Amino acid sequence: MIPVLLGVSFLVFTILSLTPGDPGSIILGITAKPEDIARLNAEFGYDRPFFVRFFTYIGNIVFHLDLGTSYATRQPVINSIMARFPNTLLLAAMAMAVECLLGVSMGIISAVRQYSVLDRVMVVVALVFASIPGFWLGLMLITVFSIRLKLLPVFGADTLRHFILPTLTVSLTSAAGLLRLTRASMLETVRQEYIRTAQAKGAGERVVIWKHALRNALIPVITSMGTGFGASLGGAIIAETVFSMPGMGTLMTNAIRQKDVPTVMGATLFLAVMFSVVVLIVDILYAFIDPRIKAKYRNEGRGRG
């Protein structure tokens, strides 16, 4: 994780430094006096050389666990993150649940009923949703369910009803890709020799699909789900922007507009840590799903002992 976090921090810090403008001009406005702008930039330390600012920021994190203070609000960055991250986490969890329910189940059905009318319909629907831009889908959902039917709220994150439309916006396009991946993985698995052996021994279709084929087919599916969940923690920026949700996505986009370097850096590093943790959990889940992986590590441990 350490090389990943260092690489992410250096890349983001470099991009922010190369973008035009400075925090003083953005915060005070173009009508502010040059000496006031220079004074504010000096207060933020933005007038110092690039590498001095970068290593000072990294040193504060390493030695003091300090993500810095926001240029715009003058509040600790960690406070802003903790205030918004629960909304993003809930949105990502709900989107992942819907994505799994639709993508995995429909992918299994599509693979089992290969070349049937149902299979063809599911594949076409998956291609359509995979091609729809997220912002357009969100706007269409607002038009139908909020403006015309008046069933669901348009913006905010006060109740679970506020999360329904953003969840659908994030999950429907992702579920389409998961459906195709599950279908392809299942089709590859059911052609293996051990599946034919189980069928030859008289095992029923449900036993073959759920006990033998599905567990081995889930490895690439879980990888996709884990990385997708980690990406959703990145704020689901499109959904949060369309529905004006106070989450990590809107926090970062607003900070980028204001060139609030500490907020952008702190939020990026926080999400990078969360993403790395999710990937670690996915790796651990492999052993519980595929007994061959668990046996491999058990044998290696005995060999070293």
Token readout for 81 is 């993150």
Q: Tell me, what amino acid is at 156?
A: G
Residues 245, 233: Cα–Cα separation, whole Å: 14
Check whether 303 has a pLDDT greater than 80. no
Instruction: Measure the CA–CA gap between 136 and 141, rounded to whole angstroms.
Output: 9
Would you say residue 15 has pLDDT above 70? Answer: yes
Judge whether 221 and 182 are in contact, CB under 8 Å: yes
Q: Within a 10 A sphere around the Cβ of 247, how many other Cβ atoms?
A: 28
Cα separation of 166 and 243, whole Å? 7
Q: What is the pTM of this model?
A: 0.79
d(CA 137, CA 141): 6
Tokens of 231: 């990406």
Alpha-carbon distance of 41 to 194, in angstroms, equals 67
The structure tokens listed for 119 are 């299979």
Query: What residues have CB less than 8 Å from 113, skipping those under 6 apart?
Result: 119
pLDDT for residue 69: 87
Per-position DSSP letters for 124-136, written without gaps between them: HHHHHHHHS-HHH
Contact 265, 71 (CB under 8 A): no
What confidence tier does 210 reach under pLDDT thresholds 50, 70, 90? low
For residue 5, CA distances in Å to 19, 65, 171, 222, 273 come to 21, 14, 28, 24, 8
Q: How confident is the model at residue 199 (pLDDT cuts 50, 70, 90)?
A: low
Determine what percent of the chain is predicted with pLDDT higher than 70. Answer: 87
Taking a C-beta distance cutoff of 8 angstroms, is the pair 282, 226 a contact? yes
Structure tokens at 138: 């969100």
Cross-strand pairs, 69: 76
**pLDDT of 224:** 78
Count the neighbouring beta carbons within 10 Å of the beta carbon of residue 182.
28
Q: Which CATH superfamily is domain 81-260+275-304 in?
A: MetI-like (1.10.3720.10)
pLDDT at 204 over 70: no
Model confidence over 104-127: pLDDT tens digits? 888 888 887 878 888 888 888 888
What confidence score (pLDDT) does residue 183 get?
85
Kindly give the interhelix angle for 261-289 and 2-18, rounded to the nearest 10 degrees.
Answer: 150
pLDDT digits (tens, 9 = 90+) for 249-278: 888 888 888 888 889 889 888 888 888 888
Q: Are 8 and 280 in contact (CB under 8 A)?
A: no
Per domain, the residue ranges of the chain are: 2-64, 81-260+275-304
Q: Distances in Å between the alpha carbon of 258 and those of 25, 65, 214, 238?
A: 9, 24, 48, 19
In the block, residue with structure tokens 């790395």: 276
